Structure 1
Amino acid sequence: MFHSLSSSLARIRALIWPIYAHEHKKLVPMFVMLFLICINYTLLKNMKDALNVTASGAEVIPYIKLWVMFPSAVIATFAFTKLASHYSHEKVFYITISFFLGFYLLFIAVLYPLREHLHPYVMADYLEVTLPLGFKGIIALFRNWTFTCFYVFSELWSCMVLTVLFWGFANEVTKLEEAKRCYSFFNVASNFASIIAGIIPTACVYFVRANFTEARQDDASLTIQTVLVLICGVATMFTFRWLNVNVLNGPEFDEFHQTKLKMKKKKRLSIRESFALLSGSRYLICIAILVLGYNLGMNLLEVMWKNEMFLLYPSRSDFNSYIGKLTSINGMLAMMVTLFIPKLLDRFGWTRTALITPVVMCITGGLFFGLILYQQWLPVSLFTILGTTPLAVIVYLGAFQNTTCKAFKFCLFDTTKEMAFIPLDNDVKLKGKAAIDGVGSRLGKTGGSVAYQGLLMIFPTLTACAPYVATVFFFVICLWIYAVRALGVMFREKTGSALEPEDHDAENSQESSTLTASRDIHVDSPSPVPSSP
């Protein structure tokens, strides 16, 4: 009986806290780093949308992503590649985060307070009268250019700091057999950060309404949240420094440091060679399609949803508060899903687990587009009974789609995508990841922006574009699913079927040889994890 109780407690511990005692010194600081980075990610994401949508309308988002975000992502990737070629990972980390924090400080101290003097309102009004209606979005981008810059730096925080810097570092110090446990643990940090960061805008609304006049409430709320971003950014650098000084200098990381020295001696790939490497690797192309598929699909859905949400919540504070509430819900939902990631990978394998996100997006996106396209055929009495309006139902359904897909994205999509990088060589992993996450995600969002801009030149509103947007959306989902299946085959070959239990009996009988194959692949990783705590 005692043995049975101990086994049950061990299973519960493995589910809730899948980390061994000797791993705490390394993984807890990484947990804190990811938590702080994700706090900033969520705050910046909500602020950039509230600033730009309430000032310019949702139509401006496709123009920002095409004409500003994409070239900015290319420049950022080029700069990261140059930095990585001349400095250690630690110095690149400090330089990159300091650059972002410097802009946020400049924005809140100079650009935003002086926006009335810096924004070219007179010229924008003239262009709006002179140019065709289809140029409304790009004129709005120009009119509120400081808000556009804030949008760009907020988006780049996601791909350069969260995706490239943190996950690139995590991939260097984590082995494949550790990743199945540790990456779900990291997702707890990101989900918990989403919950906390989602509460902050609502708390700010209550605070500023009690302490500031109505005319200053929006400005005060923005200032408070930006100061929090600066504090979290500085704390992230201090945590990373502690980790490098106190943990990564241990004897168990000698192989990691030797790998870095070897990489410094090797000739680094240029940015052109990095893209050549990407285009010449079917494995990396499939990962890129995954990233493109998610970002393009979400971009097509989010622009349509935010347009409807702006009609329902025209105030910036209300808009930001509503997004914050959804972010908290998303974090709680993702937290619950995270607990089952190791079991999903064990039970279904990498391929089937990676297929969950596109399937969920297909179903929820289909419901959202279906309501937009066929709302006029629904009886008015239905909305009367529900005590709401068609617009509110569309916004709430879009919120359900958005929170559900992002919960699965943070838990399943990110985990399976990052695991796909692990079998690659360090140089291929670093440069290929920078190209895919830095520019690949932007290509996905840029593709959606191109589609929207072309349609807005023909149709007067975003709602009128919905049938054609839905067609592109479902095509992208099909391509994404195909890429997952193809990548699953190659991933199984590289990892010796360690995470593809399609033949359970064969897998169980070959468990020891599989682990050996995994260790052979990860010659540049730290020492293997023991089989028991």
Structure 2
Amino acid sequence: MFFRIIKFFWPDLSNEEIKKYGMLSMAFFFIIGAYWLLRPLKDGFFFSAVGGKYQPTAKMLSVLIVGILVMVYSKLVDIVEKHKLFYILGSIYTVLFAIVAYVVNFPVEGPGALNPSILRFFGWASYFIIESFGSIVVALFWSFTASVSDAKSAKKGYSLVIAGAQIGAIFGPFMATYAKSWGLMPLFLIGTVSIMLMMFIINRFMAVTPKEQLEINKQEVKSESAPKTGFLEGLKLLLTRPYLLGIFAVVTIYEVVGTIVDYQMKMQAQALPQYASRESLTAFLGVFGMSANALAFFMALLGTGYMMKKLGLRFCLLTFPIVLGLAVAGLYAAYTWGHFNPMMLLWATFGVMMIAKGLSYALNNPAKEMMYIPTSKDVKFKSKGWIDMFGSRSSKAVGAAFTDSLKGNAYNLMAYGTILSLGFIGVWIVVAFFVSNKFERLTAEGKIVE
């Protein structure tokens, strides 16, 4: 039945490709499901244990922490087989999340409560652990998927992988909506089990996928004979290849804009008595995650694959910033002239974030990952590590620094945030046009960036 459903929505996939991308889709389901379950838990726990006003600081500090982890990850790429990285990283995160699950089981106050300093420590620690999981494991998955794909099969199969991720991204925050009745500990444990299931799927994928399907990216296989590059060489490639700088801009500009609007939404929610506790804030963020990802899933199911095949990479890369720019401008207009009360403003911001997250997952992410197809292994696993982990985190830090400087004045945050966001989006549109043209030339000529 599962096979027939895939064949109905993705008729261009061969039986072998259905098996291949179907298993990758299942693995990504557990990765993204765990991550989107842990995201609202991260904020709910942090806002309660540490305080929402410290979240911009946490985002800025995460740049340093993720930068260190990128160094470790880049070294592991050279000495460990790619699929085994899933087992190593998965085991580490399984243990860490199990420890956090134990800690959040203690009451926040009253008899049996932890010392406030210990609670704050784990609030910070859990924030960084979950942030790094979302950066490293997701980047590893896409690097691995690109290494076992070519441009032709990726155009057909990536939308199936994204669909699996979107189901996980709906299911994860759906579980988080039960935070008020279940508490946080069972939810952290569900995330832990999801990571273990991801490792099992990768193990089965390696066992049943034919060798020729694992080595389908012939251009990358040829590049294996080239001299190995170190950690800083990944950065050097990024800084000296305009195509990679273009990908960097496509990834990071969205994060700056998204960080500003996301922080506005969370602070608006925490200011309302309905969402003041860690459980109620977690449940609200679960509703947001479920709604945004349901939108993205239906877009991926009904339109992403068609748009990628029929309208091309350029259309997908350009549609997202144009629509997001209109939404950001509309939110500011509603704030300035709409006479919204705090609850109405929260739901208007909620709507803009739904658009941002939905289009990011449905259009920008699959298009972005396709751009790595005509690149070498060092680009996929090292320069991509800089872009997805350090670049993404640093751009969030830029957005966080801006919100931190203006968090005391809501009007300035909305006014200057809109101006800055629209300026960045204008640059984003120009860059997206450049990289989509370069991608078409590389794939047509059978060349790679290395």
The TM-score, its normalising length taken from structure 2, stands at 0.90
- Equivalent residue number for residue 127 of structure 2: 151
CA distance in 2, matches of 1:448, 1:186: 29
The C-alpha deviation readout for 1:475-520, integer Å capped at 9, x for no partner, is 1111111110121221121122xxxxxxxxxxxxxxxxxxxx5xx4
Gap change, CA 1:258 and 1:471, over 3 Å in 2: closer
Question: Aligned AA for 1:391?
Answer: P
The C-alpha deviation readout for 1:422-450, integer Å capped at 9, x for no partner, is 11122222211111001110121011122
Return the offset for 1:114: 9.2
Aligned partner (choices 124, 138, 148) of residue 173 of structure 1:
148
SS at match of 2:184: helix
CA distance in 1, matches of 2:219, 2:149: 16
Gap change, CA 1:327 and 1:253, over 3 Å in 2: closer
CA contact (8 A) 2:150 2:216 kept: no
Within a 5 Å distance, the mapping from 1:258-337 to structure 2 comes to 263=224, 266-312=226-272, 313-337=275-299
SS at match of 2:52: coil
CA distance in 1, matches of 2:48, 2:326: 29
- Equivalent residue number for residue 475 of structure 1: 423
- Equivalent residue number for residue 47 of structure 1: 41
Gap change, CA 1:257 and 1:366, over 3 Å in 2: closer
SS at match of 2:177: helix
Return the offset for 1:523: 13
CA distance in 1, matches of 2:384, 2:333: 36
Return the offset for 1:15: 4.0
Runs of 5+ unmatched residues, structure 1: 1-9, 122-142, 209-220, 379-388, 497-516, 525-533
- 1:247 and 2:209 aligned: yes
Comparing 440-449 and 313-322, the one that deviates more: 313-322
Gap change, CA 1:452 and 1:255, over 3 Å in 2: closer
Return the offset for 1:144: 2.0
- Equivalent residue number for residue 84 of structure 2: 91
Return the offset for 1:472: 1.4
Comparing 421-430 and 279-288, the one that deviates more: 421-430
CA distance in 1, matches of 2:40, 2:342: 21
Aligned partner (choices 69, 73, 76) of residue 80 of structure 1:
73
- 1:444 and 2:395 aligned: yes
Gap change, CA 1:392 and 1:268, over 3 Å in 2: same
Within a 5 Å distance, the mapping from 1:14-413 to structure 2 comes to 15-16=9-10, 18-66=12-60, 68-110=61-103, 113=106, 117=114, 119-120=116-117, 144-162=120-138, 164-206=139-181, 208=182, 221-248=183-210, 250-253=211-214, 263=224, 266-312=226-272, 313-338=275-300, 339-375=302-338, 378=339, 390-413=341-364
CA contact (8 A) 1:310 1:319 kept: yes
Return the offset for 1:461: 3.7
Gap change, CA 1:315 and 1:439, over 3 Å in 2: same
Return the offset for 1:238: 1.2
CA contact (8 A) 1:305 1:398 kept: yes
Return the offset for 1:452: 2.3
Identity between Structure 1 and Structure 2 (%): 21
Return the offset for 1:306: 1.0
CA distance in 2, matches of 1:246, 1:522: 29
Aligned partner (choices 365, 368, 373) of residue 414 of structure 1:
365
SS at match of 1:332: helix
Comparing 430-439 and 322-331, the one that deviates more: 322-331
CA distance in 2, matches of 1:405, 1:311: 23
The C-alpha deviation readout for 1:212-269, integer Å capped at 9, x for no partner, is xxxxxxxxx2111111011111111111111112225x45546669966973x65422
CA contact (8 A) 1:104 1:226 kept: yes
Return the offset for 1:158: 1.3
SS at match of 1:424: coil
CA contact (8 A) 2:250 2:432 kept: yes
CA contact (8 A) 2:252 2:391 kept: yes
The C-alpha deviation readout for 1:333-362, integer Å capped at 9, x for no partner, is 112211212321344321122111111211
CA distance in 1, matches of 2:216, 2:38: 37
Question: Aligned AA for 1:400?
Answer: G
CA contact (8 A) 1:17 1:185 kept: no
Specify the structure having the higher radius of gyration (Cα): 1
CA distance in 1, matches of 2:46, 2:288: 18
The TM-score, its normalising length taken from structure 1, stands at 0.77
Question: Aligned AA for 1:168?
Answer: S
Question: Aligned AA for 1:184?
Answer: S
- Equivalent residue number for residue 376 of structure 2: 425
Gap change, CA 1:277 and 1:166, over 3 Å in 2: same
CA distance in 2, matches of 1:75, 1:462: 34
CA distance in 1, matches of 2:436, 2:449: 22
CA contact (8 A) 1:200 1:324 kept: yes
SS at match of 1:428: helix
CA distance in 1, matches of 2:202, 2:311: 35
Return the offset for 1:463: 4.7
CA contact (8 A) 1:119 1:146 kept: no
Comparing 359-368 and 197-206, the one that deviates more: 197-206
Runs of 5+ unmatched residues, structure 2: none
